[in-house]
Homo-oligomer: A and B are copies of this chain.
Amino acid sequence: MNVRAYHHGDLRAALVSEGMALLVERAADAVSLREVARRAGVSATAVYRHFPDKEALMTALANEGLARLAAAQHAAFEAKGGGVDGFSATGAAYVRFALANPALFRMIFAHHSPGDLTAGDTSDDAMSFLLQNARALAPPGTDPRAFALQCWSLAHGLALLMLDGHVPVDDAAIDRIVDVRAMTGGHVQPGEGFDRPGTCA
């Protein structure tokens, strides 16, 4: 499937690029097919040669956004050297990514992704990364899948509450609220740093 070099060069990539740029300025529902096409210097209906409908273009944007989100989380994890602190950092990075890319973040989750928590950890996406961490850090006797879902829900909820203006955006609060220790009552798996009370207080 050679996408290079036809009339435009690579219109598909250009449309995704312009779409991403528009999502920085506008909310997703204020981004129109026609405007994306206009920015790419192409007629409105040219988009339909690469995407069956608007939804498909939005899905492409969502996929690109998901990749960036995952990258931000991995970077945050590595910056802390992994472990409990690294895992907490992935949660904070999740929220900060949402605040830095509101329209894109909403777009990502408004479009159904393939993976869910029931799937195995074979997929190489953010889901398996989450489950992997949950398995390592869940308090003894706790179902790692339930723990993972709690962590995800906590970060996801905080991100959206701040994004929608229901909770004041406070950078320090992000780290405080999204703290794994706050969900384990101060317990962490042995070998993953020392045991201390959750910093949430």
Residues of A at under 8 Å CB distance from B? 29, 109-110, 112-113, 116-118, 141-143, 146-147, 149-150, 152-161, 164-168, 173, 176-177, 182-187, 197-198, 200-201
Contacts and interface: CB of A to CB of B under 8 A. Distances in A.
Given A149-B158, A183-B183, A201-B143, A165 B112 contact: yes
Contacts of A158: 149, 153, 157
Contacts of A141: 197, 201
Given A29-B29, A185-B185, A185-B186, A200 B160 contact: no
A168 B184 CA distance: 24
A142 B201 contact: yes
A147 B182 CA distance: 9
